[in-house]
C-alpha cells in the first residue's frame, strides 16, 4: 500500500478499515492482506494498492533482478512507474523505469506509457524497495468538496481528507449507519455518505443543522440531520454502527446550558448508549472523560494541523 501524508501509523490505522495485517515496512509503504478493493478506493491516506511482486534493497540493480526472476502471468501492454518515496534515496526514477522496463521488453511485453493495460510500480524508500502491479487507484477527489465551495460554509470546517479518514476508522461503508452528534456544516456526514453509509447528523444550533442538510442534499442526496442535544440524542440504544465527532475547541462551550466538560462528557456517555465505536477529535486529550463514560481507549493520535493546533484523534470502543 502506498501511503499518503507524513504520518504512517495514522495512515496504516485507516487502511485497516479495508485490509488485515497492515504493517508499515518502510516510510510511506505498508504491506497488507485481505484487501477489500472497493473500500480501498475510498481511503484518504492510501494512494494506491499494488499486488506485491517482491521486495529488495533500494537499488535499481536489485529491483531489476526482482522483475527478471518474477513469474508474470499478465497479458497486454505495460508501463513502469518508479517513485523515490519522500526523496529518501538518491535513485534516479527515470533510470529505474528505463532499466526495469527493458527487463519487461526482454520478456516480450509491449510498453505503452500513456494507457497501459498494467502498471508496474517500483517504490524506493529508506532501506527497502517494493515492486508490484497496481490493483487499486485511490479516488482522490477531496478538492471537489473544499469547505469554502460548499453551498453552506462556516469557518473552522474540517478538511475533507481528514473527515474521510475518521469515518473510515469509524466503520463507514455501504449499509453502515454513521452518526455525527455535533455535525456543524456536515463535513463528516458528506464523507461517510460518499462511501455508501447512511448518515445521521445532530447539531444544537438550528442554523448549523439546516446548513448541514443543504450540504448533505447537494453532495450525498440522502441523510437525516436534526437540531438536538448531543447529550440527549433522539436515537434508540445501539442503533448506530459508528460515531465521529469534532468536540468544541477552546475553553468554553457555545451551548449555554452546558460547560465544555459537561458537554463532552455527556456526549461521550450518550454516544456510548447508541454505538460501540467512536472516533472523537478534539484539541486536547479527553482520555479520562472517555474512560469515565465507559469507553475503552484503543489509541490516541496527535496530529499537528498548524503551529497553534494539535488535533487529538481518540479511537474508542466498548463491548456491544
Residue 123's CATH number? 3.30.2130.30
- Of 102, 137, 172, which marks where a domain is finished? 137
Range of the domain at 16: 2-137
The CATH code of the domain that includes 190 is 3.40.50.150
Q: Tell me, what's the pLDDT at 197? A: 98
Average pLDDT score over residue span 268-285: 97
> Are 58 and 128 in contact, with CB atoms under 8 Å apart?
yes
Domains in the chain, number: 2
Q: Tell me, what's the pLDDT at 257? A: 63
Half-sphere exposure of 262 (CA within 13 A, CB side): 10
Q: Indicate whether 160 and 93 sit together in one domain.
A: no
pLDDT range class, residue 293, cuts 50, 70, 90: very high
Query: Would you say residue 251 has pLDDT above 60?
Result: no
| pLDDT tens digits along 127-137 | 999 999 999 99
Percent helix, strand, coil in the chain (nearest 5)? 30, 30, 40
- What rounded mean pLDDT belongs to the chain? 95
Query: Would you say residue 252 has pLDDT above 90?
Result: no
> Are 158 and 145 in contact, with CB atoms under 8 Å apart?
no
d(CA 176, CA 124): 38
| pLDDT tens digits along 114-127 | 999 999 999 999 99
Average pLDDT score over residue span 218-229: 96
Q: Indicate whether 236 and 146 sit together in one domain.
A: yes
| pTM (predicted TM-score) | 0.95
Within a 10 A sphere around the Cβ of 247, how many other Cβ atoms?
21
Q: Indicate whether 160 and 259 sit together in one domain.
A: yes
**Percent share of the chain, pLDDT over 70:** 98
Q: Tell me, what's the pLDDT at 184? A: 96
- Of 85, 115, 137, which marks where a domain is finished? 137
Q: Indicate whether 288 and 151 sit together in one domain.
A: yes
Amino acid at each position: 500500500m502506498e501511503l499518503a501524508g507524513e504520518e504512517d501509523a495514522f495512515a496504516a490505522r485507516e487502511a485497516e478499515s479495508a485490509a488485515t495485517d497492515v504493517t508499515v515496512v518502510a516510510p510511506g509503504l505498508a504491506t497488507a492482506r485481505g484487501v477489500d478493493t472497493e473500500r480501498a478506493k475510498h481511503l484518504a491516506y492510501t494512494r494506491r494498492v499494488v499486488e506485491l511482486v517482491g521486495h529488495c534493497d533500494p537499488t535499481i540493480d536489485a529491483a531489476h533482478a526482482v522483475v527478471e526472476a518474477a513469474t508474470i502471468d499478465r497479458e497486454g501492454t505495460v508501463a513502469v512507474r518508479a517513485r523515490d518515496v519522500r526523496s529518501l534515496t538518491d535513485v534516479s526514477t527515470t533510470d529505474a523505469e528505463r532499466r526495469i522496463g527493458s527487463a519487461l521488453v526482454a520478456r516480450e511485453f509491449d510498453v505503452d506509457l500513456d494507457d497501459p493495460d498494467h502498471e508496474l510500480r517500483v517504490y524506493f524508500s529508506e532501506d527497502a524497495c517494493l515492486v508490484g502491479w497496481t490493483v487499486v487507484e485511490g479516488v482522490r477527489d477531496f478538492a471537489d468538496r473544499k469547505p469554502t465551495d460548499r453551498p453552506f460554509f462556516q469557518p473552522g470546517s474540517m478538511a475533507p481528507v481528514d473527515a474521510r479518514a475518521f469515518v473510515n476508522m469509524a466503520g463507514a461503508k455501504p449499509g453502515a449507519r454513521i452518526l455525527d452528534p455535533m455535525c456543524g456544516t456536515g463535513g463528516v456526514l458528506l464523507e461517510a455518505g460518499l462511501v455508501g453509509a447512511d448518515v445521521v447528523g445532530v447539531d444544537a444550533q438550528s442554523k448549523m443543522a439546516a446548513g448541514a442538510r443543504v450540504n448533505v442534499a447537494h453532495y450525498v442526496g440522502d441523510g437525516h440531520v436534526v437540531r438536538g442535544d448531543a447529550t440527549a440524542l433522539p436515537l434508540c440504544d445501539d442503533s448506530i454502527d459508528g460515531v465521529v465527532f469534532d468536540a468544541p475547541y477552546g475553553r468554553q462551550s457555545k451551548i449555554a446550558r452546558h460547560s465544555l466538560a459537561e458537554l463532552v462528557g455527556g456526549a461521550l456517555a450518550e454516544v456510548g448508549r447508541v454505538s460501540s465505536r467512536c472516533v472523537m477529535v478534539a484539541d486536547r486529550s479527553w482520555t479520562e472523560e472517555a474512560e469515565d463514560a465507559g469507553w475503552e481507549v484503543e489509541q490516541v493520535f496527535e496530529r499537528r494541523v498548524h503551529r497553534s493546533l494539535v488535533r487529538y484523534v481518540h479511537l474508542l470502543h466498548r463491548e456491544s
